[in-house]
Structure 1
Amino acid sequence: MAGLGLLAGCSAPREVEGVWRPSPGASPEHIPGPLKNFGPFDLAADALSAACPLILSKPNASVVALQETQPEVALRVATEYCAWLYATPEGRYEMSMLSDSSRPGDAVRGLRSCSLPPFVDDSRYAPGTLKQIFALHNHPFGTRLSAGDLRFIESMATVHDWEVLTREGRVRLSIIAFFSRSRDASAPTCDGFYQYVPATREMMLWSRTGGRWKQESHGIVTWLDARTYRLDAL
Structure 2
Amino acid sequence: MKNFGPYALAADALTAACPLILSKPNATVVHLQETQPEVALRSATEYCAWLYATPDGRYEMSMLSDSSRPGDSVRGMRSCALPAFVDDPRYAPGSLKQVFALHNHPFGTRLSAGDLRFIEAMASVHDWEVLTREGTIRLSLIAFFSRSRDASAPTCDGFYQYVPVTREMMLWTRTEDRWKQESHGIVTWLDERTYRLDAR
**Do both share a fold (TM > 0.5)?**
yes
Q: Which residue of 2 aligns with 1:198?
A: 164
Matched, 1:132 2:98: yes
- Is 1:173 aligned to 2:146, yes or no? no
**Match among 53, 72, 91 for residue 106 of structure 1:** 72
Partner of residue 67 from structure 1, selected from 33, 58, 66: 33
SS class of match (1:108): helix
CA offset at residue 233 of structure 1? 0.3
Task: Determine the C-alpha separation between the residues in 2 that align with 1:118 and 1:42.
Answer: 26
Q: Which one has the largest radius of gyration?
A: 1
2:195 & 2:164 partners in 1: Cα distance? 14
8 A contact 1:55–1:81 mirrored in 2: yes
- For 1:158, the equivalent position in structure 2 comes to 124
1:20 matched residue in structure 2: none
Q: Shift in Å at residue 62 of structure 1?
A: 0.2
In structure 2, list runs of 5 or more residues that go unmatched. 1-6
Tell me, in whole angstroms, the C-alpha distance in 1 between the residues paired with 2:75 and 2:176.
39
| 1:61 Cα offset (Å) | 0.1
Q: Percent identity of the aligned residues?
A: 87
Instruction: Kindly provide the amino acid, as one letter, of the partner of residue 77 in structure 1.
Output: S
Tell me the residue number matched to 1:85. 51
SS in 2 for 1:104: coil
TM-score between both structures, scaled by the size of structure 1: 0.81
Is 1:116 paired with 2:82?
yes
Offset at residue 126 of structure 1 (A): 1.1
State yes or no: 1:57 paired with 2:59. no
Aligned counterparts of 2:28 and 2:176: Cα–Cα separation in 1: 21
Counterpart of 1:188, as a letter, is P
| Aligned counterparts of 1:232 and 1:105: Cα–Cα separation in 2 | 30
Map of 1:7 onto structure 2: none
Displacement of 1:87: 0.3
Take 1:116 and 1:128, find their aligned partners in 2: how far apart are those partners?
18
1:223 corresponds to 2:189: yes
Query: What is the match of residue 188 of structure 1?
Result: 154
Q: How far 1:42 moved relative to its partner?
A: 6.5
Superposition misfits of 4+ residues, deviation over 4 angstroms: none
- Select which of 165, 179, 185 maps to 1:213: 179
Task: Please report how far the alpha carbon of residue 105 of structure 1 lies from its aligned counterpart in structure 2 after TM superposition.
Answer: 1.1
1:154, distance to aligned residue in structure 2 (A) = 0.2
Scaled by the length of structure 2, what TM-score is found?
0.95
When the two chains are superposed, the root-mean-square deviation of aligned CA atoms in Å is 1.1
Q: CA deviation at 1:210?
A: 2.5
